[in-house]
Structure 1
Amino acid sequence: MERAVDIVGKLKGGEIKPAELVEECLEKIERLNPKINAFVTLNEKAIEEAKKADVSTPLAGLPIAIKDNVETRGDKDDVLLKVLRKLRSRRGCCAC
């Protein structure tokens, strides 16, 4: 497993494009998630957004995972509570 700082270096150096990195991550999630059940919701626009990433900014293009107890506008934030499963947040986290 590579360190985030090394991946960011590859992004900035042009060795890998953000969309390629996201595709790799999504493939790994698809392969492993049935066993570990770590991801409930994925950003359906992740590849599209990665194609627009400006890799000259810090950490841009680096995929991240956010625990679902943090509200993310437009995504499901069920905190594993069945009553919240179908709700989508209208607010963003923190000052978003």
Structure 2
Amino acid sequence: MNIDSETVDKIAHLARLELAETEKQEMIGDMNKILDFMAKLNEIDTAGVEPLVYLSKEINVFREDVVKQDITIEEALKNAPKHDDKYIFVAKVIG
């Protein structure tokens, strides 16, 4: 498959992108290089290769949560432009 100007126009429209003519030509070259690389990968015999899902053999390695208060309420309110004794006031964002 070869990428042409019409294909790039269609993809740009779907992605809501506006491409200049020079950008379009660069995009055609880049996309064709990607497809050529994928074609090379398709030539490799992967019959005995198990699919790789994770890059590491570690499974769900989590640290324990430690509840602590790094900053006091007074310290948090110190730099807030608008606040009361407990809360920071912010502009309303939902009507």
TM-score normalised to structure 1 length: 0.22
User: Which structure ranks higher in relative contact order (CA pairs < 8 Å, sequence separation ≥ 6)?
Assistant: 1
TM-score normalised to structure 2 length: 0.22
